[in-house]
A and B are shown apart, each in its own frame.
Chain A
Amino acid sequence: MQLPVINNTATEAPKSGCSAGSCGSTDDQMNHLPEHIRQKVFNHPCYSEEAHHYFARMHVAVAPACNIQCNYCNRKYDCANESRPGVVSELHHPDQAVKKVLAVAATIPQMTVLGIAGPGDPLANPERTFSTFRQLAEQAPDIKLCVSTNGLSLPEHVEELSKHNIDHVTITINCVDPDVGAQIYPWIFWKNKRIKGREAAAILIEQQQKGLEMLVARGILVKVNSVMIPGVNDKHLEEVSKIVKSKGAFLHNVMPLISEAEHGTFYGLTGQRGPTHDELQALQDACAGDMNMMRHCRQCRADAVGLLGEDRGAEFTMDKIEAMEINYPEAMKMRAEVHAAINEELESKRLAKEAKVQLVNIQGLKGSPSPQSSPASGRGSNSEKQLLIPARPVLMAVATKGGGVINEHFGHASEFLIYEASSEGVRFIGHRKTIPYCEGGDTCGDGESALDVTIRELAGCEVVLCSKVGYEPWGPLEAAGIQPNGEHAMEAIEDAVLKVYDEMRVAGKLEPKLDEQQKVA
């Protein structure tokens, strides 16, 4: 498989992956960050929406043990907090892991970040985790290291963490209230005892918060992940968000609960549902404050290799790695060149984007909602009125296989990118997976057709932009309130979304809906 990187000529995107160049948003999510943090994260695929199309990350599965139990995890499988559960990773001893990292970094020069995220809790496996980090800091100083943890034993390891090339730590914090925590964590292992219930949750919360404060005090970047569990912590996560940000976490990433019954988790077997797209988005918006949330997170496996959303793990199984000859100092030179080229391209893209945003402002597509600041447009009184009424935001789904353009047939899309157009501009919201309905056969699951699945997945979207859409899905899509649109094939996504939004505005389709007005109020 070819990687769509560097010169952007390869438009053939990985099927499972997020397509290169297509998830950008007009307001870069890193704009709010202080310069020193931007410097640290600009080439980190998990933190930068832009970078994740160019830079790759990998995880090594060296840490199988865990010191707590989460109700969304079945320890027979990988950790659900950073990994797609249900697939058991190939477990490595630290020395093997180091070998694998060097092999991958030499083969995929875009690889910038090595993460340890499990399959259990990395800090419940301190010898294995730190042995891996220690060797890599020495042998591959050009690789950034990061670690994800449930936080229970974080405070005792902060000192050691700060010694290596580690400038990011992710803590999964699902609550700051032990009563909420007691519904998420049945037990923890603490000071040689198994502790259950509220008491367990209280200790975990205390350790997480302490660890967060200690890391921030040492200048280590902290990202907080939260799993959104409807009816359990969904109302509570806004408060979590406020607290962790006030303590200095630089990103808060709200992820949906995965609770398929076949994973055999407590939540799966007791029928706890995950959030809908709408619920997740509303919470992400509420938590976002003045910063963009991380919306391109793919909840990668603990042994993922490659660009986000793709997995090249199969190229690097242990037997293949044993057979490889790696000259890392040589590889490091090549890597430096590749990184420089990518940085240059990112920089020119950023400049082009800035220029475009200005153009959009001049063209007046950014209708200002407030009367005082609305420019005298000189258009008819109708347009004046349009400017006074805040145009409601619209979600649009886009079918693309990469390159930042609309170039995928509706029926072939296995994933749609979701954009929100509003009077503020266009922003990327997330991705939604589906079954390509041309390949899905007649039924899947309990008699639901692939088209039904897609329509359900696109709930909340009013338009779906694709290069082509057949006659057959047209009716059902329209009936579901989703307008198919194949008129913008090969156009740049954000431009097309803006155009369609403006057409809707002119056609008077953007009057706020009553219930939404109330929501805003």
Chain B
Amino acid sequence: MALEIIESCVNCWACEPLCPSKAIHEAKPHFLIDPDKCTECAGDFEDPQCATICPIEGAILNEDGNAMNPPGSLTGIPLQKLAA
């Protein structure tokens, strides 16, 4: 049970202070989640906090490797425009 931050992360710091398990740390080239510490916020919050504030679609993956915030879900930009 752990989320993962991938390379599209823009290092915006929004997630880091919210993590109840201190599982997120600043790293180069992008922030990282320590899989041993991440609880997916279970017991602390209803929604995983990092994925709930992250502004970048696709930057955080669930344990199955799927985007927590898939393309278009945050910006509302139609997919064909995103691709262009």
Contact = CB atoms under 8 A, between A and B. Distances in A.
A124 interface: yes
Contact of A266 (B14, B17, B47, B77): B77
B42 interface: no
A65 B24 CA distance: 15
B47 A192 contact: yes
B28 interface: no
A76 B17 CA distance: 19
Given A186-B74, A266-B77, A65 B56 contact: no
B53 A189 contact: yes
Nearest to B45: A192
B46 A193 contact: yes
Interface string B35-59: 0000000000111010011011000
Interface of A is mostly: loop
Interface string A487-510: 000000000000000000000000
Given A269-B77, A270-B81, A64 B53 contact: no
Contacts of A64: 11-14
Nearest to A127: B17
B65 interface: no
Given A76-B56, A189-B52, A194-B47, A69 B14 contact: no
Query: How many of chain A's residues touch chain B, expressed as a range?
Result: 20 to 34
Contacts of A69: 55, 74-75
A187 interface: yes
Interface-central residue, B45, B46, B53, by most chain A CB under 10 Å: B53
A66 interface: yes
Query: How many of chain B's residues touch chain A, expressed as a range?
Result: 20 to 34
Given A66-B12, A193-B46, A186 B75 contact: yes
Contacts of B13: 64-65, 120, 125, 128
Interface string A61-84: 000111101010001100000000
Nearest to B56: A75
Interface string A39-67: 00000000000000000000000001111
Nearest to A68: B55
A208 B36 CA distance: 39
Contact of A270 (B11, B53, B77): B77
Nearest to B55: A75
A127 B13 CA distance: 12
Nearest to A65: B14
A91 B12 CA distance: 10
Interface of A: 64-67, 69, 71, 75-76, 91, 120, 124-125, 127-128, 186-187, 189, 192-194, 266, 269-270
Given A187-B74, A192-B18, A192-B45, 9 more contacts: A64-B14, A66-B14, A67-B53, A69-B74, A69-B75, A125-B13, A128-B13, A189-B52, A193-B47
- Per CB-CB distance, the 3 closest pairs between chain A and chain B, nearest first, are A65-B14, A75-B55, A269-B81
